[in-house]
Amino acid sequence: MNFEIKPMALAQAAKEKCDALIVLVSQDFKAGKDELSGLVAQALKSADLESKAGKLLTLYRAPQSHAVRVVLAATGDGTARSVRTAVLAAVAAAKSASLKKMVLCFAMPAREDAVRAAVLAAADATYAYTLTKSQPEPRTVQKIILTASNASELQTAFDRAVATVSGVELAKEWANRPANHATPTLLAQAAQELAEVPKFSCEVLGPKEVAELGMGAFMAVAQGSEQALRFVVLRYSGAAKSHAPTVLVGKGITFDSGGISLKPAPEMDEMKFDMSGAASVLGVFRALALLKPAINVVGLIPACENLPSGRAVKPGDVVTSMSGQTIEVLNTDAEGRMILCDALTYAERFKPRAVIDIATLTGACMIALGGVRSGLFSTHDALATALLEAGELSQDACWRMPLDEEYAEGLKTSFADVANVAGRAGGAITAAKFLQRFAEKYAWAHLDIAGTAWKTGTSKGASGRPVGLLVEYLVQQAHAK
C-alpha cells in the first residue's frame, strides 16, 4: 500500500478525488469559510456528530466534497490514542470493494504522535491475510493520502510511521502463517531476503554449527521435530564498527505443541504464533532498511518446533546450556526460555550496548496484563525507562514488572543448576528470573508479548507488536548518541 502526505487544509482536501475522505475532527475544531468546514460545524452544533473519539457521521456524495464517501470522525482531545480510535472506526465505516484511494484529513493542524497513530491505524484497519487462501480477498485500498495544513512539519514522523507499518505487516504475515508455511528453514530464508540490501548481512547456522557452539538447551527443544533448527544472525550496520550494537533476540518457536508436556487441544492451532518474537525482529529490520538510522543492530533468532516424539526431551531430563549452566527440564512446555537462554549467551560476543529479548513466553503474563500492555522486565533502569517511553510514544505500551531475587527461589533444584519452571505463582516473573541468569554481562530487558502479539475473537490474528515500540526505541537511541 502506498502512503503519501500532502500540505492541505480541509478546503483543499475536499477537492481531492477519492473513494473516501475521512475528516478527523477534534473538539477544538474551528470552521473555515469553505463549505465542508461549515458542514462539520453544523454537524457538531446539532450533535449529529458527537465530539467523543470514535463517533462518526457518514455522508454519500456530499456536494461539499469530490469524494464518493465522506466520513466525519471525532477525535476528541486529539491525542494519539483518540486519533487511533477514530481512524479505526472511520475506515471500518468506509470499507467497500471499491475503496482504492482514501484521504485522511486532519481538520486542524496535526501533532506528530497523532500522525503516526493515524497511519498505523489506517494500515491496521485495511490489512488482509491472503497467503493460504485459494480465493483470497486482498486489501482493496491501494493509496492513502494524509493531509494537514502543517504537513511540512510532519514529514519525519510520517516517514517513521510508514516504515513502522512495513515492519508491523511483515511481523503479522509471518505470525499469521500456518506452521507448515513458516518452518525454521522458511523463517531463516525470510531473514536472508531482508539482508539483500546495503548495510545488512545475515548468517544462518544449522544443527551442526549450533552443536559446535554447545547450545544444549536450544538443541533439546528442537530434537523432537523432523524440522531442522535454524539460528539466524541478522546485522544492520548503520554506524561505525566502534559503536556497540543493540541486540534483539526473538523467540522463534514456529509451532509449540508443548512437547511431551502436551498442551490441551482447544486453541492449539494458535500456537503457530509462538514465533511472534522472531517475527517482530524481522519486522524491525524491514523498518531499519527504510529509516536507515545511525545505529548498529543485531538480530538473533533461535528457530525450531516443539513437538512430542520418541526423540523429544522428557520431563526430568538435564541439559547443558551454552553458558555451561545445567538445566532440569521439569516442563517441556516451558521451551521458549530454553532456546532464548542460549541466544542470550551468544549475544555476549557482540559486546552489546543493550540486549532485548522478545518472546510470547508465558500465559501468566496474559493473566497479569491482558492484551493491552506487554510485560517488561529489566535489570537496567535506564534501558527500562527508554523502553517504557518508546512504548508510550508508539502506542505500543509495556509495563515494568519486578525482578526481586526472592522470585528465583522456585527455580532451585537438587539435580541441576536451575529448573526451567517454578510454581504457578508469579509465572511471568520466574520465567524472567530464569532468563536473567544468562544475561548478567550486559544491560538486558525482556519483553513478554504473550498477551499482545495475538488477537482473538472476530479479529483473530497477529498484531505485529512490539515492532512499533522497538523501532521507536532504536530511533531514539540513534538520536541520543
For residue 34, give the C-alpha cell.
Answer: 469553505
DSSP 49: S
The angle, 0 to 180 degrees and rounded to 10, between the axes of the packed helices 112-126 and 80-94 is 30
Contact 186, 272 (CB under 8 A): no
Distance spanning both ends of the chain, measured CA to CA = 33
Residues annotated as catalytic are 263, 337
- Counting runs of H as helices and runs of E as strands, what totals does the chain give? 14, 20
Query: SS3 of 9, please?
Result: coil
Q: What are phi and psi of 370, to 5 degrees?
A: 65, -150
**Which residue from 218, 215, 173, 219 is spatially nearest to 193, judged by alpha carbons?**
173
Angle at 118 between CA 113 and CA 122, to 5 degrees: 150
Alpha helices by DSSP H, listed for 109-246, are 112-126, 155-176, 184-194, 207-213, 216-222
Q: What are phi and psi of 327, to 5 degrees?
A: -130, 125
d(CA 408, CA 388): 24
Q: What is the 3-state secondary structure (H, E, C) of 419-457?
A: ECCCCCCCHHHHHHHHHHCCCCCCCEEEEECCCCCEECH
d(CA 473, CA 462): 21
For residue 349, give the C-alpha cell.
Answer: 560476543
d(CA 198, CA 459): 37
> CB neighbours (10 Å) of residue 176?
23
